[in-house]
Amino acid sequence: MLFSEKNIPKLIILTPIFTIIILSAFVTSFLIDSQNSYFKEQSKILEKKYILKQKALLVSQVNRVIDYIDYHRVKLSNIGEKKLQKILTDYIDTIRYGTNGYIWIHNTNYYLISHPFRKNSIGKYDINLKDESGKFITRAFINIAVKNPDGGFLEYYWRKPNEKEATKKLGFVKLYAPWKWVIGSGLYMDDISNSIKEEKTLLQKRINKQIKTIILIALSFMFLVGILSFFISKNIINALNSYKQKVDENEATLKTKIADAIEESRKKDRTLFYQSRLAQMGEMLSMISHQWKQPLSEISGIFMELETAHKFKKLDDKYILECAKDGDKITDFMSRTIEDFRNFFKPDKLKERFSINSAVDEALRLIETTILNSNIKIARKEEKDTFIYGYPNEFAQVILNILLNAKDVLCSREIKKPEIIIQIYSKDEMSYLQITDNAGGILDDIINDIFNPYFSTKDKSKGTGLGLYMSKMIIEKSMHGKLYVLNLAKGASFIIEIKNAR
């Protein structure tokens, strides 16, 4: 029965735990929904504020130029108006701000007075200038400036400096009446959108952090209730056992119960031991799986190519032999991978002198199909081939790990022109292998953790978090080198540093 003496301890433990789980789930869900709604509202407010801020920036830049002209028109009035205008426009041409901000000047007669990227058109009649949508923008600028003493805004399409494609741009113009100059500046909307996106990302991170805190608090509360229930139940069980001992004075029964309890404890000890052994086997299988994933994909690719060739009647003996040869190489590598894992911690492995370039070739050959399918460009920069002393197969596995991680992050972040640069060079009796991607780099708050065991930014089904840890072990423990990572301008750069072989 549910409320029998035997089930009372379980009910004492489970009832408050299930109650807290249900309440915590409800409250957590409500708080998460509230945070998501808050994010949407704040995103809209943030976008409006940022647009207003950028408009204020345009007004500020144009007003500064006008103030600068006013000041020097008074201060340098003795040098002549044309000479002063030349001095001022030369300076205004050099003004830059933001990502692509600059200043241009027309006069109210539609002549171009100053523009840093249209030097050939200075002094020319510019009334028929059109943007990429066909709008007569010079006319529009001057009409706005003349009709609005405080200046006005205009949206149009214009090419960024040194770019071929036009993008939407927000311009601001204002009339400088003493010289009948229309002074303008603009910001590209995609630059503004990118900045807004960055601000939204920061906001999302803050909200995600709050959500994680909420979940952590809920889990902590459930854990504390569980611990409390456990101790209460334990005290009740002890009281019941004491009652039983007083009622049941049969020594034989007591000895039997004690013997049964001892045997149960031994069974639990044996179970824990086997679980520990299975966990160790699981870790080893995970590492082997991590190394086998790509070769298995390559073998699958060979079978698909054979099937396709057969379907289109292009299958001949030469093609079959080539595919078989490729399959043999891959299965040989897989076999050696098993052996390397088995022998990794043994002290009797023999080191040998080998070429870094050959190890890179081996790793690239295994993932060639995957790289091609992902449209990733591989660029190799070699000053000269260098030789090191160590374990060539394990070194190739390290390269493979780094390349696969780079491939995964390039694909997950949907980089438009993905690229991996492999550079081999030697300096001060040291050999260097540098593998760099253009995926944007590693977040500062996790860059110091990526070599820790079981640390992974991937889904648990896609990674064990052991690849980079094992790679660091191979390079630093087995080959006495260094493996570290840096964030460069375009992405992350993994660097292997090992002493040259003599």
pLDDT at position 163, please?
Answer: 79
Q: Where are the domains of the chain?
A: 8-43+195-247, 60-188, 255-343, 345-499
Helix (H), strand (E) at residue 471: helix 467-472
For residue 389, is pLDDT > 50? yes
pLDDT grade for 16, boundaries at 50, 70 and 90: low
For residues 22-39, give the mean pLDDT. Answer: 71
pLDDT at position 2, please?
Answer: 52
pLDDT grade for 12, boundaries at 50, 70 and 90: low
pLDDT grade for 269, boundaries at 50, 70 and 90: very low
Most confidently predicted of 156-170, 245-259, 434-448: 434-448
pLDDT at position 492, please?
Answer: 94
Among 15-29, 353-367, 375-389, the minimum mean pLDDT is found in 15-29
Long-range CB contact pairs, 281-284, < 8 A, 24+:
283/464, 283/466, 284/341
pLDDT at position 61, please?
Answer: 92
For residues 402-417, give the mean pLDDT. Answer: 91
For residues 102-113, give the mean pLDDT. Answer: 95
385: Cα within 13 Å, side-chain hemisphere:
10
pLDDT at position 276, please?
Answer: 34
For residues 157-173, give the mean pLDDT. Answer: 86
pLDDT grade for 288, boundaries at 50, 70 and 90: low
- The overall average pLDDT reported for the chain is 80
Class of domain 345-499: alpha beta
Count other Cβ atoms within 10 Å, centred on residue 186: 22
pLDDT at position 241, please?
Answer: 67
pLDDT at position 349, please?
Answer: 61
For residues 82-101, give the mean pLDDT. Answer: 90
pLDDT at position 292, please?
Answer: 72
pLDDT at position 278, please?
Answer: 44
For residue 10, is pLDDT > 70? no
pLDDT at position 244, please?
Answer: 65
Most confidently predicted of 131-140, 153-162, 206-215, 260-269: 131-140
- For residue 417, which phi and psi values (nearest 5 degrees)? -125, 75
Where does 60-188 sit in CATH, by number? 3.30.450.20
> SS in 3 state form for 32-83?
HHHHHHHHHHHHHHHHHHHHHHHHHHHHHHHHHHHHHHHHHHHHCHHHCHHH
Question: What are 65's two structure tokens?
Answer: 């130029």
Verdict on whether the full-model pTM lies above 0.85: no
> SS in 3 state form for 90-150?
HHHCCCCECCCECEEEEECCCEEEECCCCHHHCCCECCCCECCCCCEHHHHHHHHHHHCCC
- For residue 217, which phi and psi values (nearest 5 degrees)? -65, -45
Query: How far is 385 from 433, CA to CA, in rounded Å?
Result: 11
Among 132-136, 149-153, 272-276, the minimum mean pLDDT is found in 272-276
Percent of the chain with pLDDT over 70: 79
pLDDT at position 284, please?
Answer: 47
Give pLDDT tens digits for 295-338. 788 888 888 888 888 888 777 888 888 888 888 888 887 787 67
pLDDT top residue among 318 and 438: 438
pLDDT at position 460, please?
Answer: 57
Q: Cβ distance 157 to 165 under 8 Å?
A: no
pLDDT at position 486, please?
Answer: 94
What distance, in Å, lies between the first and last C-alpha atoms of the chain? Answer: 79
For residues 188-211, give the mean pLDDT. Answer: 73
> Running DSSP on this structure, what letter comes out for residue 160?
P
Percent of the chain with pLDDT over 90: 32
Kindly provide the b/e burial profile for residues 268-299, where b requires at least 16 CB atoms within 10 angstroms of the residue's own CB: eeeeeeeeeeeeeeeeeeebbebbbebbeebb
For residues 234-257, give the mean pLDDT. Answer: 70
pLDDT at position 128, please?
Answer: 93
